Chain A
Amino acid sequence: MRRGWRWLLPLTAVPVLALLAYGFRVDPREIPSPLVGRPAAAFALTSFDGATVDLAALRGKVVVLNFWASWCRPACYEEAPTLERGWRAYRDRGVVVLGVDIQDHDEAARTFIRDFSLSFANAPDRGGKVSVDYGVYGVPETFFIDREGRIRAKHVGVVTDEIFRATVEPLLR
């Protein structure tokens, strides 16, 4: 009896230690999106150029949907050239890059677009409806939507040239 009790205390520490070992290895900011694999929510926004950006009209194309903000330093500043490069490299192969500017001031956003000479469509998400529809909890977040309009991948953080290529290429096959 006594011997059994003596083992009990270190034994109770095992599950606690296991939980801590698991918990400290997990990045709490990496939250799996339930949207991957599901149809992308429809939206229509008006871009900074005054054009209508309608996701439904882009069916048949691979869409790289990027949520950004001019106040998002340095991540959004780091990935802006990548997105522009990716757009230029893949536009002829049926890829559309779309920027959604969230919780921003128009003037600052326009400066951002001008500074990086962004040539793909960028639209402000006034009211935040599109951001919530995509479960966005920070910037930058990028969704990769296939030709059938299904979200195939979500990337949180800076998109690099390598990530852009590696995620878009399989969707073109």
Chain B
Amino acid sequence: MACNGGASERRVGVRTVVLVLALLALVATGAAAQPPGPRVDEEQVYDVASQLRCVVCQNLSVADSPSEMASQMRVIVRERLAAGQTPAQVRQYFVERYGDWILLLPPRRGFTLLVWLAPLAAVIVGVAIVAVLVVRWTRRRPTTAPPPLDRAMSERIRRELEQEP
């Protein structure tokens, strides 16, 4: 009996140890299940994804598209940022595979520089045209001013106005 009691006591002890070990193991696997590397700023993931074109959509960014392809690309963005890459490096990874086409904002160099400069040029030309016209209109006014009235004429106008009923 005593021996039995001792065994059961020991069994409880073993059980506790097993339980503690199991808990420890659970904590350990929980820690291991967390994504490796530094914590990823979700805002940064969104920021990079919003600059990438969703390749299977029409005019949607990877950040905004509900498609499976876009969600896979968001995962890739997150993983690369977690691995320590900068947003510029992640963007470059996609550009190297898809070309500049993947970027929603055309790069400010080469042919696509035109897209950035053309509106600016249009504004400058427009402002120049308006400036020239304004100058011309304001300058024309004094030259087209009526000639000064002579005394006889103003006298006649006064007389005719008085005759009005």
Contacts and interface: CB of A to CB of B under 8 A. Distances in A.
- The SS class assigned to the B binding surface is helix
Given A137-B55, A137-B56, A138-B56, A128 B97 contact: no
A129 B95 CA distance: 15
B72 A132 contact: yes
A34 B96 contact: yes
B40 interface: no
A132 B96 CA distance: 10
Contact of B69 (A35, A103, A135): A103
Contacts of B98: 31, 33-34, 135, 137
Nearest to A34: B99
Interface string B43-55: 0000000000001
Interface string B96-112: 11110100000000000
B82 interface: no
Contacts, number: 42
A132 B99 contact: no
Given A103-B68, A138-B55, A34 B75 contact: no
Nearest to B57: A137
B69 A133 contact: no
A10 interface: no
B60 interface: no
A162 B81 CA distance: 43
Contacts of A131: 69, 72
B153 to A, nearest CB: 35
Nearest to A136: B55
Nearest to A33: B99
Contacts of A31: 98-99, 101
B45 to A, nearest CB: 15
A35 B97 CA distance: 6
Given A138-B55, A138-B56, A127 B97 contact: no
Contact of A127 (B72, B94, B95, B99): B72
Interface of B: 55-56, 68-69, 72-73, 75-76, 94-99, 101
Given A127-B75, A132-B76, A132-B94, 17 more contacts: A34-B95, A34-B98, A103-B69, A103-B72, A127-B72, A128-B68, A128-B69, A128-B73, A128-B76, A131-B69, A131-B72, A132-B73, A132-B97, A134-B97, A137-B55, A137-B56, A138-B55
